[in-house]
């Protein structure tokens, strides 16, 4: 399963300084979120695809966080990540949606 890694490397290059999750948070992302959020066709907004996130981002980070924790239609509660803390989810949401790092907490 090397493919997601290549995609992620490409993402890091393109997203650059937008948001920088820690290596531990990236591992959580790889183990839990990638299967849906890097796969076109499952209805999940794709990581790094700005148009998928435009209206979602407009809800604000707290609303996004609530939808991750509680689930939203095809989005399972906690995104299957029982090991993720609130700070982890916030970092991953900012990373996925291309929001600036270090705003808020």
Q: Which residues bind ligand HEC (CB under 6 A)?
A: 32-33, 35-37, 42-45, 56, 59, 63-64, 67-68, 72-76, 79-81, 84, 89, 92-93, 96
d(CA 105, CA 89): 11
- Taking the complex as a whole, the smallest distance from the CB of residue 41 to ligand HEC amounts, in Å, to 10
Residue nearest to ligand HEC (CB): 79
- Taking the complex as a whole, the smallest distance from the CB of residue 50 to ligand HEC amounts, in Å, to 14
Cβ atoms of 64 and 91 within 8 Å: the answer is no
Q: Residue 87 belongs to what H/E stretch?
A: helix 86-97
């Amino acid at each position: 399963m090397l493919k997601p890694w290549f995609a992620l490397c490409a993402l890091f290059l393109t997203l650059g300084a937008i948001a920088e999750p820690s290596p531990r948070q990236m591992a959580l992302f790889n183990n839990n979120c990638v299967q849906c959020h890097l796969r076109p066709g499952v209805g999940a907004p794709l990581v790094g695809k700005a148009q998928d996130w435009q209206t979602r981002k407009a809800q604000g980070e707290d609303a996004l966080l609530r939808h991750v924790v509680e689930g939203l239609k095809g989005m399972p509660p906690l995104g299957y990540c029982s090991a993720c803390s609130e700070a982890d989810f916030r970092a991953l949401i900012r990373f996925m949606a291309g929001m600036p790092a270090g705003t808020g907490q």
